[in-house]
Amino acid sequence: MLGTYLDILRYRQSWKFSAAGLVLRMPMSMVGLSTILMVRAEYGNYTLAGAVSAAGIIVMAVCAPILARKVDRHGQLRVMCPAWTVATLSMCALLAAVVVHAPEWVLFIPAALSGATWGAPGALVRSRWSTILHKPGQLTTAYAFESAVDEFVYIVGPVLATVLGTAFHPATGLAISIVCLAIGGPLFLSRRSSEPAIVPHDPDVPRESVIRNPVVLVMAATYIGMGMTFGAMEVALVSFTEEHGVPAMGGILLAIFSIGSLSAALIYGARTWRRPTWQLFAVGVVAMAAGMSAFLVADNMWLMAAIILITGLTCAPTMTNVNILVQKSVSAAKLTEGLTWMSTSINLGVSLGTAVAGPAIDAAGSRGGLFTMTGAGWAMVLLMLIGLPTLRKTDAAPAPKLPLD
Mean pLDDT of 254-282: 86
How many CB atoms are located within 10 Å of the residue 236 CB? 29
Q: What is the pLDDT of residues 210-266, one digit of tens each?
A: 888 888 899 999 999 998 898 888 878 878 888 888 876 777 888 888 889 989 888
Q: What is the pLDDT of residues 374-388, one digit of tens each?
A: 999 999 999 999 988
% the chain with pLDDT above 70: 93
- pLDDT confidence of 189, banded at 50, 70, 90? very high
Greatest mean pLDDT among 129-133, 299-303, 343-347 lies in: 299-303
- pLDDT confidence of 207, banded at 50, 70, 90? low
Contact assessment for residue 257 and residue 308, using Cβ atoms and an 8 Å cutoff = yes
Domain 1-6+13-198 class in CATH = mainly alpha
* Identity at 272, one-letter amino acid code: T
| Mean model confidence pLDDT for the chain | 85
How do the domains of the chain map onto residue ranges? 1-6+13-198, 208-398
Greatest mean pLDDT among 146-155, 327-336, 351-360, 369-378 lies in: 369-378
Contact assessment for residue 207 and residue 331, using Cβ atoms and an 8 Å cutoff = no
- pLDDT confidence of 403, banded at 50, 70, 90? very low
CA gap 151, 25 in Å, rounded: 11
Alpha helices in 100-192 (DSSP H): 104-118, 121-132, 138-167, 172-189
Measured CA distances, 68 to 253, 339, 372, 402 (Å): 34, 9, 32, 31
Q: What is the pLDDT of residues 29-40, one digit of tens each?
A: 788 778 877 888
More confident: 44 or 112: 112
CATH 1.20.1250.20 describes domain 208-398: yes
- Residue-level pLDDT at 404: 43
Query: How many CA within 13 A on the CB side of residue 172?
Result: 14
CA dihedral in degrees (131, 209, 315, 399; nearest 10)?
-40
What element of type H or E holds 323?
A: helix 315-329
Q: For 277-322, give the DSSP string.
A: HHHHHHHHHHHHHHHHHGGGG--SHHHHHHHHHHHHTTHHHHHHHH
CA gap 77, 187 in Å, rounded: 11
